[in-house]
């Protein structure tokens, strides 16, 4: 029960980061916002790690994989922050929920896992759900929608790499290195798009990093009490505060077709998670 509470708390916390990013995107470049999310998260996480988990921070056995993991999550964040600067947070997150389906599609090639006909069927149904949301030919399919799908694709690859690293590196080290990779890469590029933030904007950027920091710390603690496969379904709870914050602050709300697409995508994703968990425990 403690693991579920911590995990749900994390998914409630993280949409606040997204809401701040969307709010600031009208005043600051989305790439600068992405950089700030990493920079301040690392700035806040590093002292926490060294104070409470110093003994667990042993150097990685897979520096290449850690770099690729950090890179894919960095690209996922860029895509997501760009998408929410244009479309609603709820629609962007709905399209990003393609991630478990991408992971299932790629797992036979990168993890050597066998995917049966039922899971392939769920993947196909999930992609049909995406078509319901974007409705090509009926509404304009813009770059922001494509970026939101890109978020899910990058995150799906990120999950593949995470599975590989799970066998050798601790989750704490992986979290820290992922943040450091994003912060370093972002720091090299951000001067190109830099806009001097006001004191108020700096405060929002720091607060965004704090929400990201707290959210990921809660995720780490939840994984201390339960396996990731058991907690995976609770990730879809993120859509609830996402919809509420989007409606309250930005007057954004999903239309009927988007809700139907969301239901299809989540249903197929939950089925994939259920089948993976069942196969793991055979």
Tell me which residue of 218, 210, 219 sits closest to 42, measured CA to CA: 210
pLDDT band at 127 (very low <50, low <70, confident <90, very high): confident
The CA–CA distances, whole Å, from 54 to 47, 127, 129, 268 equal: 10, 43, 44, 40
> Can you give the pTM of this predicted structure?
0.88
Please state the φ and ψ torsions of residue 59, each to the nearest 5 degrees. Answer: -60, 145
Mean pLDDT of the chain: 84
Percent of all residues in the chain with a pLDDT value above 90, rounded to a whole number: 32
Please state the φ and ψ torsions of residue 235, each to the nearest 5 degrees. Answer: -60, -25
Q: How far apart are CA 64 and CA 92, in angstroms?
A: 30
pLDDT of residue 115: 73
Please state the φ and ψ torsions of residue 136, each to the nearest 5 degrees. Answer: -60, 135
Tell me which residue of 98, 83, 107 sits closest to 163, measured CA to CA: 107
> Assign residue 115 a region: left if phi > 0, alpha if psi is -120 to 50, beta otherwise?
beta
pLDDT of residue 31: 95
Whether residue 176 contacts residue 47, with contact meaning beta carbons closer than 8 Å, is answered with: no
pLDDT of residue 220: 72
Residues 147-183: tens digit of each pLDDT:
999 999 998 888 888 777 766 667 777 778 888 999 9
């Amino acid at each position: 029960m403690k693991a579920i509470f911590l995990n749900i708390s994390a998914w409630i916390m993280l949409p606040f980061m997204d809401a701040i990013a969307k709010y600031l995107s009208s005043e600051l470049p989305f790439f600068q916002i992405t950089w700030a999310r990493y920079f301040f998260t690392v700035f806040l996480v590093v002292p926490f790690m060294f104070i409470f988990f110093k003994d667990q921070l042993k150097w990685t056995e897979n520096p290449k994989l850690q770099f690729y993991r950090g890179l894919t999550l960095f690209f996922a964040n860029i895509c997501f922050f760009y998408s929410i600067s244009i479309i609603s947070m709820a629609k962007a997150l709905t399209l990003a929920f393609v991630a478990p389906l991408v992971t299932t599609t790629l797992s036979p090639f990168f993890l050597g896992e066998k995917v049966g006909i039922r899971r392939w069927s769920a993947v196909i149904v999930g992609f049909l759900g995406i078509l319901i949301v974007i409705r090509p030919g009926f509404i304009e399919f813009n770059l922001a929608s494509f970026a939101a799908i890109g978020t899910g694709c990058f995150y799906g690859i990120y999950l593949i790499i995470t599975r590989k690293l799970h066998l050798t590196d601790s989750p704490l080290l992986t979290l820290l290195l992922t943040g450091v990779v994003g912060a370093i890469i972002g720091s090299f590029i951000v001067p190109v798009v830099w806009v001097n933030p006001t004191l108020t904007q700096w405060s929002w950027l720091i607060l965004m990093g704090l929400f990201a920091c707290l959210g990921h710390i809660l995720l780490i603690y939840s994984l201390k009490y339960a396996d990731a496969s058991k907690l995976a379904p609770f990730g879809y709870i993120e859509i609830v505060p996402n919809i509420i914050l989007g409606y309250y602050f930005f007057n954004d709300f999903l239309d009927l077709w988007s809700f139907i697409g969301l239901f299809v995508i989540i249903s197929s994703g939950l089925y994939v998670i259920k089948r993976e968990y069942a196969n793991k425990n055979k």
